[in-house]
Structure formats: C-alpha cells, structure tokens
Amino acid sequence: MNGIGKLSISEKALSILEPIIRNQLELLPLETSIGPYFELNVKQLSCLDISKCDVARFKSSGRIMKINKYAFIDETIRGSNIFCSYELRGNTIFVSKLFTDTVESNKLTGVVFDKIPK
C-alpha cells in the first residue's frame, strides 16, 4: 500500500490507468497550457481500523493528527486500486500495488509513492 497527495493525470496516463481505477473516482477535466488533464476526485472509504492503528491525536480536539502505523479493514478496500480514507478527511490518496506497478511498468512520470507504515 502506498500513499500520495492530490493527483492530476494526462490523457495518456488516464488511458493506461482507466481499466484499473474505473468506478473508483470522478474525473474532473482540466485545461492546461500543455493539454488536457484530469484531476482525480477519489472516493472516500471508511477503511481504517483505528483500534489497530498507531495514532497521534490533537489534544484540543481529539482528531487524528498523524498515523504512525496504518491498519486497514481488508473487506472495505478489497478490489480498490485507489481510495481516500474518510477518517483522514481525504487528505491522502492510497493506491494498491497493482496501481504502482502499472505506473512504473508504463514509465509514467510525475508521481512519487510513499510506503505506508504497517
């Protein structure tokens, strides 16, 4: 499992990734000086098993500040190659190994994956 921030992709990247991300997001068209792109509005899933995560919280509100170790609910993320966590307010996009392998094998550029501590 890997994580990235906001994601916009080119038409070429979309044509490669679309078969594995279909129905998992909304595509928002963007006109740029280098051609058409699409911002990915990724679906949020309630997918963190908070009781098994190592979580740091804000003292004032109790909201999650940082997750040092992630634990996902397998049944919730099964079949999802790209998703956001509802518990994290959609601030991080998580992607599957299939997604990262597809990006890397097709030599798509402009994205950096961070390993998720488990």
* 117 is a domain residue: no
Say whether 16 sits in a helix, a strand or coil.
helix
Task: List per-residue pLDDT tens for the chain, 118 residues long.
Answer: 555 556 899 999 999 999 999 999 999 999 999 999 999 999 999 999 999 999 999 999 988 888 999 999 999 999 999 999 988 876 789 999 999 999 999 999 988 888 888 7
* 34 is a domain residue: yes
SS (H, E, C) 49-90: CHHHCEEEECCCCCCEEEEEECCECHHHHCCCCEEEEHHHCC
* 84 is a domain residue: yes
Q: How many structural domains does the chain have? A: 1
Domain that holds residue 14: 2-112
Nearest Cα to Cα of residue 92 among 27, 32, 48, 57: 48
* 30 is a domain residue: yes
* 35 is a domain residue: yes
* 66 is a domain residue: yes
* 118 is a domain residue: no
Say whether 33 sits in a helix, a strand or coil.
coil
* 16 is a domain residue: yes
Model pTM score: 0.85
| Amino acid (1-letter code) at residue 72 | F
Please state whether beta strands 25-32 and 82-85 pair in parallel, antiparallel, or not at all (unpaired).
unpaired
pLDDT for the residue numbered 4: 53
